Amino acid sequence: MKVINKQKVLEIVNLLFPYIEQKYGQVEGIYRHNGSKENVDLLIMKTFLNEPLDYQVQNVHTLCSFVKQLFRQLREENEFNSPPFPVNIVNALKICYQLKKSGGEYKIFLAQLLNKITGVDRELVVSFTRHLKKVAEQKSVNMMGLRALSICWGPTVLYMMNLQDIQYDTDPSQVLLMVLEDFDTE
């Protein structure tokens, strides 16, 4: 299988995130419901073939599922070869989350960790984080606050490697929620 190109994903999300926010930001459960797998697979195929995406004719859940699938593929295909949230950063984020849970000072550590993400990966993480924050701003209508979005997205973007994560109660959604709440993307 062909590995998906991060730069291409960045171009797609920079096109789709504003479109989703503007046109569908108030749809209830915007990232909670799945779109048509057939249509998502077609959009993925078009991405690999560098064909134009007919995103305007897709429904909101198909577009949202497509974007999630792009991030999932980046995580899975690049597991040890630099996904947007690299494994070493995810492991450090888990430690940061444990520090937060114990009431420790974690925000400086978190900022330092996220500053280690550079280049296209950083652009993807910033774009992704800003998008979810914008969707959450409309939570009174779409019922998708940061916690709900973290539940939908945590397992998609954060690679949890082993059973120790479960043992230490390191839920990817909680780690992502910490990032969304405390990552200054400006």
| CATH number of 109's domain | 1.10.555.10
Host domain of residue 139? 6-182
72 domain residue, yes or no: yes
136 domain residue, yes or no: yes
pLDDT at 2 over 70: no
Separation of alpha carbons 137 and 128, rounded Å: 14
Separation of alpha carbons 95 and 8, rounded Å: 31
174 domain residue, yes or no: yes
Mean pLDDT taken over the chain: 89
Q: What is the pTM of this model?
A: 0.90
Query: What integer pLDDT is reported at residue 41 of this predicted model?
Result: 96
Query: What integer pLDDT is reported at residue 106 of this predicted model?
Result: 95
Tens of pLDDT, residue by residue over 122-152, are: 999 999 999 999 999 999 999 999 999 999 9
Separation of alpha carbons 128 and 108, rounded Å: 21
Domain count within the chain: 1
Confidence of residue 171 (pLDDT cuts 50, 70, 90): confident
131 domain residue, yes or no: yes
Separation of alpha carbons 58 and 71, rounded Å: 19
Tens of pLDDT, residue by residue over 32-74, are: 999 999 999 999 999 989 899 999 999 999 999 999 999 998 8
Helix orientation angle between 87-101 and 107-115, rounded to the nearest 10 degrees: 170
Query: What integer pLDDT is reported at residue 130 of this predicted model?
Result: 97
Query: What integer pLDDT is reported at residue 21 of this predicted model?
Result: 96
133 domain residue, yes or no: yes
CB 74 within 8 A of CB 80: no
Query: What integer pLDDT is reported at residue 162 of this predicted model?
Result: 59
31 domain residue, yes or no: yes
1 domain residue, yes or no: no
95 domain residue, yes or no: yes
Query: What integer pLDDT is reported at residue 170 of this predicted model?
Result: 63
State whether residue 46 is helix, strand or coil: helix
